[in-house]
Amino acid sequence: MYFVYTSESGDTGRSTSDPSQPHHVYAGLMVHEGRWEPIRKDFRAVCRHYLGNELGSADVPSRLSIRHLLQGKGAFSSWPKARRSELTDDLLNILILHETPLLVMYVDKAKFAAALEGTDPQNTRWNQPWEPAFARLAYYLDLYMDELNLTAMPQEELIGGAPIHIGERATIISDRATPGGAEVMQRLLRTEIDLPTGAVHESAYLARTQDSHCTQLADLCTYIFRRHLQQPDAPDQRYASLEDGHVIQVVHQVQF
């Protein structure tokens, strides 16, 4: 079983004209059930090392705000840049060490806004950029799970045309608790995406960010990816580490 923790960066709701956030990034961090506890232990150890105690303890924030960490704000306003960079790199190394796949979808907000002005019913059904991004995530997750299950099948069965054995499944876990958000996710999973093998559960579950170390790690990845989109030709060591460490498995720009 894979738990797929979703995360967003660049969410400006219905507004699509913020020049500092031209993209909406939506990603799913795939954590195998066998890796969940080791990742949690490593995450807690890193937090204790840098923060002096567990998240949520006295004088320690309840969760890691990735924006504050990378921009030196909030709980990290007094930290030197070098220490913030060390913490960020150690968090990314957890994902690389545990070979944690990341599926990334992104929406160009200007193209999304233009699509909403058109007449194609496939586009006018969307309300906010996260919706088509989530639909694409579910689609590519289904393909990814099929590939995993096919790879695990004996060669003779593949040659003989045997049906796919569903040895691994995936469940989407989100912190999207905005009004109507959970309902939209369920509708997209059940009606928008063809899930013929059943490897992806047709229900999404909610988890608060402060209660989920995996969601916080996913937040770090989406923020780094969105910043990379803004300057794709600039050297980006952290983005390169996610690529070189085989964390980023799928990248897809949603088309309209």
pLDDT mean over 134-156: 87
Phi, psi of 197 (to 5 degrees): -90, -20
Number of domains in the chain: 1
For 3-54, write each residue's pLDDT tens digit. Answer: 999 999 999 888 888 888 999 999 999 999 999 999 999 999 999 999 999 9
Q: How confident is the model at residue 197 (pLDDT cuts 50, 70, 90)?
A: low
Running DSSP on this structure, what letter comes out for residue 165? P
Per-residue burial over 89-122, b if 16 or more Cβ lie within 10 Å, else e, is ebbbebbeebebbbbbbbbbbebbeebbeeeeee
Predicted confidence band at 115 (pLDDT cuts at 50, 70, 90)?
very high
> Are 127 and 135 a contacting pair, CB within 8 Å?
no
Given the DSSP bridges, would you call strands 248-253 and 200-206 parallel, antiparallel or unpaired? unpaired
Q: Is the pLDDT of residue 160 over 80?
A: no
Domain that holds residue 103: 2-253
Neighbours of 255 (CB within 10 A): 10
pLDDT of residue 222: 97
pLDDT at 192: 61
Q: Is pLDDT of 159 > 80?
A: no
Q: DSSP readout, 60-85?
A: S-SS--HHHHHHT-GGGTTS-HHHHH
**Which is nearest to 248 in space by CA: 99, 59, 98?**
99
CA gap 188, 182 in Å, rounded: 10
CATH no. for residue 249?
3.30.420.10
Asked if the model's pLDDT at residue 163 lies above 80, the reply is no
- Measure the CA–CA gap between 229 and 103, rounded to whole angstroms: 15
Comparing 5-19, 132-146, 180-194, the range with the smallest average pLDDT is 180-194
Residue 142 has pLDDT above 80, yes or no: yes
Using alpha carbons only, give the angle 167, 173, 176 rounded to the nearest 5 degrees: 160
3-7, 121-125, 162-166: which range is least confident on average?
Answer: 162-166
**Strand positions, DSSP E, 109-219:** 170-174, 200-206
Full-model pTM: 0.91
Which residue's entry shows tokens 């990845």?
221
